[in-house]
Structure 1
């Protein structure tokens, strides 16, 4: 009885072992395939991160470009246009011909006190003052004469932050 049973069970067990081996191999192939997809996904994510960083740096370079078109106006040393002491700029220096005030967004981008700015068609000026927070992308040229300042008006002009 033992030998009949072993003759009948041996092929069945062998077949089961073969089936289990095939299942293990198929599952291992699925695991390998999923691992490969995971590696590709991680590499794609890293590449996208790199591209996003590159775009961010390009946008920053464009934003921090030393040449830009800004709105240029003029101001006078009066308390209604300045603060309590209109003869002292935000840099704590006395206002003078050749002084400009810049909007705070430009100031935050490196257009700071003491830097020189060339305004197309008008000349070179020094940043010594800040404008009210409500203004952006704007430069205000100091002028002693209120009539000349009014006559100057408001213009969109290219300005360049100089490295001198």
Structure 2
């Protein structure tokens, strides 16, 4: 390979290298931005939105809920398959970890919209679940 050492050619190569480096940095940084993907399920006319969310779990104890730990914010009795979220409408289906949950409860408002709390009948199971950052699918 023949290398041209003329100053004007060297500056061009340096400029191209800088542009390539900038493009690589931008591509790397944007890969960490959560992406929301929406598509329409034509068979049911519903939209499905995929996004990363913080998922935790809770059980029916007064220290984790209000003074009616077995009644959800939608005024339904707790049951397997319920998830709490502060912004989605009651009845919205959310697929978390390959299982479909239905939004029937709310959390303290400090958790905002990007947090989901799965109801579990056993406190130890809820503690074992912990907090996880997962890709979820919301069916609107």
**TM-score in terms of structure 1 length:** 0.54
1:124 — aligned with what?
A: 100
d(CA) in 2 for partners of 1:75 and 1:97?
Answer: 12
Extract unaligned runs of 5+ from structure 1: 1-61
d(CA) in 1 for partners of 2:129 and 2:79?
Answer: 17
Q: Which structure's residues are more often strand, by fraction?
A: 2
Identify which of 122, 127, 131 aligns with 1:150.
127
Give deviations 1:47-99, integer Å, cap 9, x for gaps.
Answer: xxxxxxxxxxxxxxx59982211000000001111111000000000110000
1:98 lines up with 2:74 in the alignment: no
Instruction: Point out the structure with max Rg over C-alpha.
Output: 1
What is the CA-CA distance between 1:122 and the residue it aligns to? 3.9
Runs of 4+ in 1 over 4 A off after TM superposition: 62-65
What is the CA-CA distance between 1:115 and the residue it aligns to? 1.1
* Total equivalences in the alignment: 95
d(CA) in 2 for partners of 1:134 and 1:156?
Answer: 18
2:65 — aligned with what?
A: 82
d(CA) in 1 for partners of 2:106 and 2:137?
Answer: 17
What is the CA-CA distance between 1:129 and the residue it aligns to? 0.2
Identify which of 56, 69, 91 aligns with 2:52.
69
What is the CA-CA distance between 1:133 and the residue it aligns to? 0.6
User: Are the counterparts in 1 of residues 37 and 50 from structure 2 also a CA contact under 8 Å?
Assistant: no
**TM-score in terms of structure 2 length:** 0.63
User: Are the counterparts in 1 of residues 57 and 127 from structure 2 also a CA contact under 8 Å?
Assistant: yes
Please tell me the root mean square deviation across aligned C-alpha atoms, in Å: 1.8
